[in-house]
Amino acid sequence: MNLPVKYNDFQLIVINCLNENNDIRTDAEDKYEKVPVLNKIEFLLQIISEKTMAREVSQLCAVLLRRMFFANYDTIEEVMTPEILEQIKNQILLLLKNPQDASLLKKMCEVAAELAKRLIDERNQNHWPELLKYMFECVNSQDLVLKECALNLLSLVPGIFGNELERYLEVIRQMLYHCLTDNNLNLDIRTAAVKATSAFILHHENNKKVTQHLSDCAVPMIHLIVSTISLDGEHCDTILKAVTDIAEKCPQFLRARTEDLIQLCLEALRGADIMDTRKHLCIEIVISLAENAPQTIRKRGTPYLGQLVSHLLLMMTTIEEDPEWGNVDVIEDDDFESNHVIGETSLDRLACSIGGKTILPLVLENISTMLQNPDWRHRFAAMMAVSAVGEGCHDQMLPMLPKIVSGILPFLSDAHPRVRYAACNALGQMASDFAPDFQEKFHNVVVPSLLTLLDDQMNPRVQAHAGAALVNFFEECPPKIVAIYLEQSAAKLEGLINMKINELMSKGTKLVLEQAVVTLASLADSAQEYFERYYDKFVPCLKAIIKMATTDELKILRGKAIECISLIGLAVGRDRFCADASEVMDMLLRTQTGEEQLAEDDPQLAYMISAWARICKILGSQFEPYLPYVMPPVLKAASYQIQMHLLDDEDTIVEKDWSRLTIDQSQVGIKTSGLEDKATALQMLVCYARELKQNFANYVEDVVKVVVPELKFIFHDGVRTAAAEILPYLLESAKARGKEYVNGMWKYIFPELMHAIETEPEREVLSELMASLDTCITDLGREFLSDDQLEAIVKVLDEHLKQYFERCEERSEKRKDEDYDEGVEETLVEEDDEDVFILSKVADVLHACFSVCKDYFLRYFDAIVHHFVKLAGSDRAWTEQHWAICVMDDVIEHGGPGCEKYKDFFIPLLGNGVQSTYPEIRQASAYGWGVLAQYGGPNFASVFSVCVPILTQMIQAPDAREAPNINATENAIAAITKILQFNSSQVNVNELLPLWFSWLPVWEDEEELPHVYGFLLYLIEHNHPIIMGENNSNLPRIVYIFMEVLARNAITLSSDVGQKIIALMNSLKNDALLFQRCVESLNTQHQEGLKQVLAYPGDQ
């Protein structure tokens, strides 16, 4: 509740917000939150304007004011009149023009900038032109503090010029160039000019005119790096970070100076007097350029890459000898700012961006020497380098794997434990990067070698890492290969776990035990049903660990044991695990429902949430009684609210689990520690809803209120994906509560889902959102879809199709770039594939709409049909044409005779399609002809006399039955079937029917088989002379056709067609001679199949 407060009282509240006494400070913060927003703004500005106020209080008020504009502007806008807004703007300008000191002026610049961002509307019009005027006054001032203020404002609001950018562009260039190059200006101002230039470039990164017009600013920025690189202070670091931002987001701005920049950075790396953190920033510039403009680096920077790779490998050797390293039981996280970690991660990124053709030879050239070095650090670095470049050099390393693996294996026996560790790391990483080829080709040397290292009792850390490498190996390993080593691996792990449990009891060490449990879990997960015979060896032991490991330091061990036992249960299945499921669940629930419940940050909680979901999958509906106990913690984890703080430029993220992000041009810090648990909890809710169906109905209301807002959770893709995935399952569960309830839930879900689809930036998440919409529509049916909703769906699809064509055009332009090369083409092809995948999801949504709305949806489809006409053009890629045809197939199939208005488009499309060189297009086109015959009506009869010869030619092609073509061919046969059955008035049936009969059997397309064989059975039932032949001479062939289809498991005997086949075969037995003739024409396999048909029980 907001309560009015007097100014003096408010002033005391703010002062107490700085009080060192925690209780006083907390009380003041609570009172501050209850003050109405307009009162806050008024009083904060009043305090700042008081010259006698303590500096820290004034600065706090400026920070609070900025936070309000950032986080609560929508609320402010609801209660703020235009007059109040003008008053606020004037007061802020007054404070800017009459600063008390430079530090407060900087804070007020940030306040003004935050408000200014909110005052640039959707048409890009700036509604605070007075601030722009003030900025120009400051930059032209002789007062250096004001000049710096102007540059800071531009950094913070680079879009301040709004729709008048073109008018000011030359003025902006002159202003920035002057501030960058004027040696009479101090470094504070010139550094601020670099930041302003960077911010302005990044804000207009897609505006070529801006980046080209300011291109001459790149040289003085590089000169400033040169002049400050050896100086103390933060100027150089700030400049390097600003240039890094450009390299990351607008590398084309630096293209002409790429070589200068790389040379400068390499020179800095060699500088003995340059601090490491500054060298790291120099590396970051080059790596950012490599990641975001790899073609430029390949073209202009290749001569320097050898030096860079050598330096990164040298950095990887800068680790200290630690005699206790191998015996450490608690492993601390790597220092990500250390030289060796920076070197390794940079090498990884360089390989991924530039590619193996360029990078792998440079790496191999260095590590061949390093492996022979008597200094273990060099051998260690060489092994870690193999791990680092595997992903980026995948294609080049693949044919070299035998040589690489044979080169690594001897180092598993290296004298130094850290080299053995690195060799394990290399094998484990390659098992992930090159799966499953790596497992299939090298299991016979890798698995025994890693199992041997599990015996390295003198170096538990090496033992544990060998176990981790086995996890990587097993994760992607085919079960048949895992089965080969199951006995050996299980025996090794059983002995190791028992030994380490004893060590835990006697010494308190747990590192290897934790890893052994994880390795066991991976082994069971990969072995699946093969693991059942080892169930009794391990489950009692794991239950003992769960009961025993109750102290704080053993929580992770307990969590991993919980994970392991649930994965074993999933592997062996319900029948085997059911006897222990209740006891395991009781153990887990005692932890959660006892007197001392788990804290939110307890590491066991994430393991338990995942384990509950696995056990739910095992037990199915039998899991329902546990829901009252498991749902509260899962919902709590899923509801985790991100902790976020607005940052000043000088703020540095030093706390663990915090990251810096840019949101709406503002720097914010977010706490990341709960994000993975949140995503996991949401995925577990998906599992509950999917597995329990209507047994989950009592929880759908609570769950839907949690998940729907997460569709716009920008901080984690997995959260949005899970939120999308669960929606159809929730609606399905909700059906138990009646149609009215389902309708209400759908009305709540729909607008948020549509908004998410409209705004989602990540294509992978977007595809999940569209899949969710597709499934929701299909499952709900027509009665739940309003006209407004159908219109909204088409509007969003229209926007995505427009964006699709825009991205296609952008890729076309990139192919014209001066630095275009085959590496760029590979990237563009990947982007093409991603976009076509989205196109397929658009088609799926349309399919859902047509399938439930039938011809009623045509009135909405009219608004977007032009996009598919464009996609079907002869100048478009075959994948685009394919999806255009698929969509038109739906139009025909579900639009029925109403599709006639599009006939001038789809008739030639289908006619050309069946003659395409691409089997996918032929298949879709053939399907289109079939549904046109079935649903199009008599008005289309004349077109079939034209299409039948084309389909016949396609079916009779010499390679028609070969692997790439068979699906298309069978769809063409199915199309002929439908023409004969539904729309044959304009074709010569007596001429076509013998041909059709000669094309049988077909067996590939399960959807079409009932049509084909249903029609054949119809003709048989009516004794059609062409099909039956003279004196039933075709019956042996008919029997063969059905036996071949059944032998291929294309039709089940329980299906309608299967039952009719059974009836036919039984009827044939009545004529013993004819039946004998049919049997004799069959091969042994078909004869056995016929026996099974005749023996099939009639009531099944």
SS3 508: coil
Choose the final residue of a domain: 292, 323, 350: 292
The answer to the question of residue 608 being in a domain is no
SS3 332: coil
Q: Which residues contact 963 (CB under 8 A, 6 or more apart)?
A: none
Q: Which residues contact 235 (CB under 8 A, 6 or more apart)?
A: 187, 188, 190, 191, 228
Furthest CA-CA distance within the chain: 117
Below-50 pLDDT ranges, the chain: 1, 595, 653-654, 1100
CB 65 within 8 A of CB 41: yes
Would you state the structure tokens that stand for residue 612, as one six-digit string? Answer: 């509950």
Beta-strand ranges (E) seen in 579-702 are: 644-646, 658-663, 666-671
Sign of CA dihedral 1018, 1022, 1026, 1028: positive
Q: Could you please report the per-residue DSSP string of 874-917?
A: TTS-HHHHHHHHHHHHHHHHHHGGGGGGGHHHHHHHHHHHTT-S
Would you state the structure tokens that stand for residue 531, as one six-digit string? Answer: 């693991």
| Number of folded domains that form the chain | 6
Packing angle of the helix pair 1009-1021, 1056-1068 (nearest 10 deg): 30
Count, in order, helices (H) and strands (E) of the chain.
55, 3
Residue 666 pairs with which residues in a beta bridge?
663
What is the C-alpha separation between 741 and 784, in angstroms, rounded?
A: 11
CB 745 within 8 A of CB 731: yes
Residue 595 pLDDT: 47
In 3D space, the residue among 582, 478, 578 whose CA is nearest the CA of residue 528 turns out to be 478
Residue 309: phi and psi, rounded to 5, are -60, -45
What is the C-alpha separation between 719 and 710, in angstroms, rounded?
A: 7
CB 1089 within 8 A of CB 1053: no
Residue owning tokens 């289908």: 910
What is the C-alpha separation between 89 and 98, in angstroms, rounded?
A: 14
Taking CA atoms, 935 is separated from 508, 886, 929, in Å, by 74, 16, 10
Would you state the structure tokens that stand for residue 631, as one six-digit string? Answer: 């749902």
Residue 670: phi and psi, rounded to 5, are -125, 145
Residue 656 pLDDT: 58
The per-residue pLDDT for range 921-942, each reduced to its tens digit, is: 999 999 999 999 999 999 999 9
Q: Same structural domain for residues 119 and 30?
A: yes
Residue 667 pLDDT: 63
The answer to the question of residue 659 being in a domain is yes
- Domain range for 75 is 1-160
Q: Indicate the Cα dihedral angle 946, 951, 954, 955, nearest 10°.
A: -140
- Tell me how many degrees the CA angle 834-839-843 measures, rounded to the nearest 5: 145
Q: Same structural domain for residues 17 and 32?
A: yes
Q: How many CB atoms lie within 10 A of CB 617?
A: 17
The per-residue pLDDT for range 561-609, each reduced to its tens digit, is: 999 999 999 999 888 888 888 888 888 887 765 545 677 778 888 898 8
CB 426 within 8 A of CB 449: no
What is the C-alpha separation between 225 and 272, in angstroms, rounded?
A: 17
Q: Same structural domain for residues 945 and 1082?
A: no
Label the pairing between strands 666-671 and 644-646: antiparallel
Choose the final residue of a domain: 953, 986, 1019: 986
Q: Where residue 66 sits, what CATH number does that domain have?
A: 1.25.10
The answer to the question of residue 825 being in a domain is yes
Q: Same structural domain for residues 174 and 208?
A: yes
Instruction: Kindly give the residue spans of alpha helices, DSSP state H, lying in 914-965.
Output: 919-935, 941-955
Q: Same structural domain for residues 1006 and 974?
A: no
Q: Same structural domain for residues 45 and 113?
A: yes
Packing angle of the helix pair 941-955, 966-982 (nearest 10 deg): 150
For residue 323, give the amino acid letter.
P
Q: Same structural domain for residues 152 and 169?
A: no
For residue 977, give the amino acid letter.
T
The answer to the question of residue 868 being in a domain is yes
For residue 677, give the amino acid letter.
D
Q: Same structural domain for residues 143 and 256?
A: no
Q: Same structural domain for residues 167 and 149?
A: no
Q: Chain centroid to CA 1055: how far?
A: 40
SS3 185: coil
What is the C-alpha separation between 886 and 877, in angstroms, rounded?
A: 15
Taking CA atoms, 643 is separated from 252, 316, 601, 715, in Å, by 35, 35, 14, 11
SS3 1032: helix
What is the C-alpha separation between 631 and 715, in angstroms, rounded?
A: 24
DSSP state of 707: H
- Tell me how many degrees the CA angle 1079-1084-1088 measures, rounded to the nearest 5: 75
The size of the chain, in residues, is 1100
The answer to the question of residue 461 being in a domain is no
Q: Same structural domain for residues 32 and 138?
A: yes
The answer to the question of residue 545 being in a domain is no
Q: Where residue 233 sits, what CATH number does that domain have?
A: 1.25.40
Residue 637: phi and psi, rounded to 5, are -65, -40
Residue owning tokens 């040169």: 226
Would you state the structure tokens that stand for residue 807, as one six-digit string? Answer: 């991205």
Tell me the CA end-to-end span of the chain in Å, nearest whole number. Answer: 68
What is the C-alpha separation between 602 and 596, in angstroms, rounded?
A: 12
Residue 872 pLDDT: 96
The answer to the question of residue 432 being in a domain is no
SS3 1033: coil
Whole-structure pTM over 0.95, yes or no? no
Rg of the chain over CA atoms, in angstroms? 35
Q: Same structural domain for residues 656 and 734?
A: no
The answer to the question of residue 1073 being in a domain is yes
Q: How many CB atoms lie within 10 A of CB 442?
A: 22
What is the C-alpha separation between 200 and 217, in angstroms, rounded?
A: 12
Choose the final residue of a domain: 104, 133, 160: 160
Q: Could you please report the per-residue DSSP string of 17-85?
A: TT-SSHHHHHHHHHHHHTS-HHHHHHHHHHHHH-TTS-HHHHHHHHHHHHHHHHHSHHHHHHH--HHHH
Residue 646 pairs with which residues in a beta bridge?
668
Q: Same structural domain for residues 946 and 961?
A: yes
